Amino acid sequence: MKSPNSLFSDRRRSSSGTGSISSSFMTHSPSTSTYSSTTTSSNKSTPGKNPVKIAAKTVAEAFVSCFTPPEPKPSSNNFGDSSDSFKAPSVASDGGSEKRRSRGRSIYASESNSIHAKEAGSVKFTMGEIYKATRNFSPSLKIGQGGFGIVYKGRLEDGTVVAIKRAKNTIHDKHLGVEFQSEVRTLEKIEHLNLVKFYGFLERGEERIIVVEYVPNGTLREHLDCGPGNVLDFASRLDIGIDVGHAITYLHMYTDHPIIHRDIKSSNILLTENLRAKVADFGFARLAADTESGATHVSTQVKGTAGYLDPEYLSTYQLTEKSDVYSFGVLLVELVTGRRPIEPKREIKERITARWAMKKFTNGDAILTLDPRLERSAANSLAMEKIYELALQCLAPHRHNRPTMRKCAEILWSIRKDYKELAG
Ligand SMILES: Nc1ncnc2c1ncn2[C@@H]1O[C@H](COP(=O)(O)OP(=O)(O)O)[C@@H](O)[C@H]1O
Ligand SMILES: [Mg+2]
The helix (H) or strand (E) run that includes residue 248 is helix 234-252
CATH number of the domain bearing residue 311: 1.10.510.10
Chain centroid to CA 11: 29
Structure confidence at residue 200 (pLDDT): 87
- The boundaries of the domain holding residue 287 are 216-421
Protein residues near ligand 2, an ion, with CB under 5 A: 146, 268, 280-281
Ligand nearest the Cα atom of residue 304: 1
Number of domains in the chain: 2
What's the whole-model pTM score? 0.74
DSSP-derived pairing of the beta strands 259-260 and 286-287? antiparallel
Q: How far is the CA of 266 from the centre of ligand 1 (A)?
A: 11
Check if 305 has its Cβ closer than 6 Å to any atom of ligand 1: no
Structure confidence at residue 171 (pLDDT): 52
Which of residues 183, 211, 239 is at a domain's end? 211
User: Which residues pair with residue 54 across a beta bridge?
Assistant: 35
Ligand nearest the Cα atom of residue 147: 1
For residue 275, CA distances in Å to 186, 196, 272 come to 25, 14, 5
In a domain, 71, yes or no: no
User: Which residues pair with residue 166 across a beta bridge?
Assistant: 150, 209
Q: Are residues 179 and 280 in the same domain?
A: no
Q: Are residues 271 and 135 in the same domain?
A: no
Structure confidence at residue 319 (pLDDT): 85
Which of residues 188, 211, 234 is at a domain's end? 211
How far is 36 from 301, CA to CA, in rounded Å? 6
- With contact defined as beta carbons under 8 Å apart, do 285 and 183 qualify? yes
- With contact defined as beta carbons under 8 Å apart, do 148 and 157 qualify? no
pLDDT by 10-residue block (mean), the chain, 424 residues: 37 34 34 40 35 32 37 33 30 32 29 41 80 96 87 94 84 62 72 92 83 95 87 97 97 83 94 96 58 50 83 88 97 98 97 98 98 97 98 98 98 98 90
Catalytic residues: 263
- With contact defined as beta carbons under 8 Å apart, do 330 and 307 qualify? yes
165 annotated to a ligand binding site: yes
How far is 174 from 63, CA to CA, in rounded Å? 29
